[in-house]
Amino acid sequence: MSEYVEEFIEQSEIKAFDHEHRRIINFNMGRYETAVERGLSRLSNLENSKRKAHSIKWKVMENLDKLLPEFESNFQKKGGKVIWANDAEEARQEILNIIRKTGAKSVIKSKSMTTEELHLNDFLSENQIEAVESDLGEYIVQLLGQRPYHIVTPAMHLSKEDIARLFHKKFKTPVDATPEQLTLKARELLREKYTTADIGITGANFLIADSGSIALTENEGNARLTTTFPKIHIAIAGIEKIIPSMADLDLFWPLLATHGTGQNLTVYNTIIGGPRQPSETDGPEEMYLILLDNGRTNLLANKEERQGLYCIRCGACLNACPVYKNIGGHTYETTYSGPIGSIITPHMQGMEEFKHLSYASSLCGKCSEVCPAKIDIHKMLLLNRQQSVKNGLSTSKESFGWKQWKKAMLNRSWMDFFSGKWKNFFLKTFFRKSWGNYRELPKVAKKSFNAQWREENKTDS
């Protein structure tokens, strides 16, 4: 059993019975569900929109080898520079090369799950580069030294009292400060960072092939400030973020907003097509885009499971998942948690270490139901399980057990040979630990159904 599995099991048990954690998550998710239900009700034909999004993403994955060079060519025409990175280490080194080349000492960042994937803040800190998160939720978890808890709402696991205590400890604000007061304090602290940072780093919600532009969507305006004041802008995006046309934003922006926060459209939506042009008054002097693979082509090569790359990072499947609601985001020990993380992480970071995530599901199908890109998530979870077995990643004990179970299930005489007493003994002896500390094993009847049928109907067959 890998260290990730042991940690997952241990933390899951702790979080599932942490009543305060459950209270905060239920409260925050309750507000989310109300907002999203209201937002989705405004869409005239949601199912048709989801089918269209699925179709576009399917076409993108089938033509990725054409769309990515098209994007690169159009982006470079506007003065942007594209860097291809095979893995996280390559991406980190490319960013460090840019920083060292320009003599930069400070970085301001907007919200980006891709930079979390790179563990960029820790890397920059190790190289004596100050990196500050400008998204309020990200800033809060950075102050706590934690990873984001959720794809969309990084500090979902914290109450307003938790945040007030944090700001009191760090910045001497009143211990009973209101959310408005805390936001104003964060704004005061971050304003100077925007104007003094040497480099701004963002992610990209979408890469637009036909215009060579990146699209950013946010609610705080921090991404605009991050890309406006610093002289250099570095954007980092996974290769799957490409969409064919600017016109596709008409579909994807509302889908992302309604499923992510319940809004018709997020407050700030920005399209950036390279560094500042001669006719423009603001913007960076240089702009780099790092196109990140980091295991995505492993998933792309798997025809049945490449649907995982259709994800637009709305977080809807996390909020719908009963497992996520019980154990929370940090338990997964991955950048992408919840159902979507469970299907893509084993391909991106290794099936052997992370196959257990695909078993952390009730297979209720709610994740597939709410997905705006109609990813068949619960089917992908089953395919991951199947692949882990085909790859020989099951323990010899588990493989032997299932072989014996199959043999018994295919032989009626074997099934009837052992009484319910022996079957219950085998269950308690070999399956008690794997069934969980807080679940009762089902009790097998003393006689099999076949035996009871023969007695009831007085037959020999």
Q: Give the Cα separation of 165 and 229 in Å (integer).
A: 31
- Which letter does DSSP use for residue 307 in this model? G
Domain boundary, last residue among 279, 294, 309: 294
In a domain, 97, yes or no: yes
3-state secondary structure 134-173: CCHHHHHHHHHCCCCCCCCCCCCCCCHHHHHHHHHHHHCC
Q: Domain residues for 443?
A: 396-457
Altogether, the residues listed in the chain come to a count of: 461
Boundary (domain end) residue, out of 266, 294, 322: 294
What is the DSSP pairing of strand 130-133 with strand 81-85?
unpaired
Label the pairing between strands 232-238 and 130-133. unpaired
Does 452 fall in a domain?
yes
Indicate the pTM of the whole model.
0.91
Q: Are residues 250 and 104 in the same domain?
A: yes
| Phi, psi for residue 271 in degrees, rounded to 5 | -120, 125
Examine the domain organization and report whether 260 and 408 are in the same domain.
no
Is residue 198, in this structure, part of any structural domain at all? Answer: yes
Domain count, the chain: 2
From CA 64, how far away is CA 180, in angstroms rounded?
44
Q: Is residue 200 part of a domain?
A: yes
Q: pLDDT tens track of the chain, all 461 residues?
A: 678 888 998 999 899 999 999 999 999 999 999 999 999 999 889 999 999 999 999 999 999 999 999 999 999 999 999 999 999 999 999 999 999 999 999 999 999 999 999 999 999 999 999 999 999 999 999 999 999 999 999 999 999 999 999 999 999 999 999 999 999 999 999 999 999 999 999 999 999 999 999 999 999 999 999 999 999 999 999 999 999 999 999 999 999 999 999 999 999 999 999 999 988 888 999 999 999 999 999 999 999 899 999 999 999 999 999 999 999 999 999 999 999 999 999 999 999 999 999 999 999 999 999 999 999 999 999 999 999 988 888 878 778 878 887 887 788 777 777 767 777 887 787 777 777 777 788 888 887 787 788 888 877 65
In a domain, 133, yes or no: yes
- Of 276, 294, 312, the one marking the end of a domain is 294
In a domain, 366, yes or no: no
Instruction: Say yes or no: 107 and 242 in one domain.
Output: yes
DSSP, residue by residue, 222-264: HHHHHHHSSSEEEEEEEGGGEES-GGGHHHHHHHHHHHHTS-S
Residue 426 lies in a domain: yes
Burial annotation 19-34 (CB, 10 A radius, 16+ → b, else e): eebeebbeebbeebee
Q: Apex CA 1: angle with CA 319 and CA 151, to 5°?
A: 20
d(CA 293, CA 240): 9
Sequential DSSP letters for 359-425: GS----SHHHHH-TT---HHHHHHHHHHHHHHTT-S-HHHHHHHHHHHHHHT-HHHHHHS-HHHHHH
CATH number of the domain that 146 lies in? 3.40.50.10420
Closest CA to 58 of 256, 244, 246, 257: 244
